[in-house]
Amino acid sequence: MADIVQVLTTNPLAKQLGVPQPTRLRRGRELPSGPVVLGAAGGSPSIVRRTLDLLGVPVQDALRDVPEARVTETDDKGRERQVPPSYPARIGAVLVDATAVTSIADLEEVRQVLRPALRSLEPSARVVVVGVEPETAGGPVAVAAQQALEGVVRSVGKELRRGATANLVRVDLLTGTPTTPEDLGSTMSFLLEGRSAYVSGQVFHVGHADEGRVGDLTTPRPFEGRIVVVTGAGRGIGASIAEVFARDGAAVVAVDVPAGGQGLASVANKIGGTALQLDITVPDAGSRIAAHVAQRFGEGARIHTIVHNAGITRDKLLVNTDEDRWGSVLEVNLAAQTRINEILLDPELPGGLDDEGRIIGVASTSGIAGNRGQANYAASKAGVVGLVRAMGADQGLAARGITVNAVAPGFIETEMTAKIPLATREIGRRINSLQQGGRPVDVAEAIAWFAQPASAAVTGQVLRVCGQSQLGA
């Protein structure tokens, strides 16, 4: 049965009938079309400006809402009022370098930069505030002021309309291993481009990678000559992940259950990758992936990225959940990937994970917020979050340059979500700041950003790709 709301919103009469039209989001590698403006709070913009220079993105100075810059406006009734200075044309992004914010008074400067900009944003514009990790900021007031930035960004995300997003990036400037513009580059470029279309109200963390580890920041094909394994690639989000990695130059190994053979073969053919029919829950799944890589690409070949995307749901209230429903979900969504990682992390294994490799999990907002009828699924996805935190903090992996991260998708339009009953589905689709469901490609782009050689300074993170869903926010 056709989804009634989908029919209504695609019908040309819908607008006249007053059905809300979701904004078409800017996607892909497209930068904003209007200017990118930069302002600072608490000091002069330094790391953000230098990062944009590296990326070759031109920036203009932001206007400020200070009393002397305000202009007098007369309304239709002849009344005069003071309004903030306005930009001559719509702007594509406003960036605030708030790394020097240490006091509550400094926060006023964040407001000064944001107010004029928020009145002039183009559709799918970007608001990006860059701060430092609060715990490194100094005394309680400095920590409070840095933490306050999160409140600003999460609220602005909820106020924005027409596909615009707001995110906070935290860097390390005050520790022994400070974040450099090279470390920050891949994250700033992801945020400015349409690749981050469905990411809003989130906090990004960028640390520091050892000398020489940060790959090329501006190449559109960062995975050229690299092998990427994607599980559950036969359809849905996994198929999109495989396509995005292939677009960006990777040789993709698409893995799915033998029963999903048809879909798997057509995905692999479409992207010129190889297909591996494999149930990831078999005990030797990791060795079989490695053997496939060594056999197809040669003894010396190693995996650059493994994306643990395969997942299942077996929803029931816990009161009705038997050991099979419980066990199968935990097995596919969590246990299988721990076994596969253990095997692939053997540095001696032909076809194993390379140094400077990437492990990427797929969690879910259900794993963060919990969900009625999904105790098994939420357990497995919360487990993925725990796994990423633990492995991201592992010094042995860090020494090898291996990063471990996960995405937590919200409502994404796939066969999995198409099965949700209509009313629940409509709520899921709309209760987020972008007022629409995300697309598989939105999840895929976030995963590819984590995997990029240029994202070497990003590890142990879980990024929600949920349009700032109110679920568990």
Binding site for ligand NAD (CB under 6 A): 231-232, 234-238, 256-257, 260, 279-281, 309-312, 332, 362, 364, 409, 411-412, 414-417
Residues 274, 292 contacting (CB under 8 angstroms): yes
Q: Is 70 buried (19+), middle (13-18) or exposed (0-12) by CB count in 10 A?
A: middle
Which one, 237 or 457, has the nearer CB to ligand NAD?
237
Residue that has been written with the tokens 């989908």 in this structure: 6
CB of 361 to ligand NAD, least distance (A): 9
Q: DSSP assignment, residue 335? A: I
CB of 32 to ligand NAD, least distance (A): 27
3-state secondary structure of 119: coil
CB of 194 to ligand NAD, least distance (A): 20
**Amino acid identity, residue 429?**
R
Which one, 156 or 264, has the nearer CB to ligand NAD?
264
Which one, 13 or 423, has the nearer CB to ligand NAD?
423
Task: Please provide residue 330's backbone torsions phi and psi, each rounded to the nearest 5 degrees.
Answer: -65, -30
Which one, 231 or 287, has the nearer CB to ligand NAD?
231
Between the alpha carbon of residue 273 and those of residues 180, 251, 407, the distances in Å are 35, 6, 23
CB of 472 to ligand NAD, least distance (A): 12
CA separation for the pair 139, 365 (Å, rounded): 33
CB of 282 to ligand NAD, least distance (A): 8
Which one, 451 or 457, has the nearer CB to ligand NAD?
451
Residues ≥6 apart with Cβ < 8 Å to 93:
32, 34, 36, 37, 125, 126, 127, 128, 192
Which one, 51 or 380, has the nearer CB to ligand NAD?
380
**Residue of 377, 411, 449, 450 marked active site:** 377
3-state secondary structure of 91: strand
CB of 312 to ligand NAD, least distance (A): 5
**Amino acid identity, residue 340?**
I
What residues are paired with 169 via a beta bridge?
Answer: 130, 204
CA separation for the pair 98, 112 (Å, rounded): 12
What residues are paired with 132 via a beta bridge?
Answer: 171
Our answer to whether residue 377 is catalytic in this structure is yes
**64 backbone φψ class: left, alpha, beta (φ>0; ψ -120 to 50):** beta
* Catalytic residue set: 377
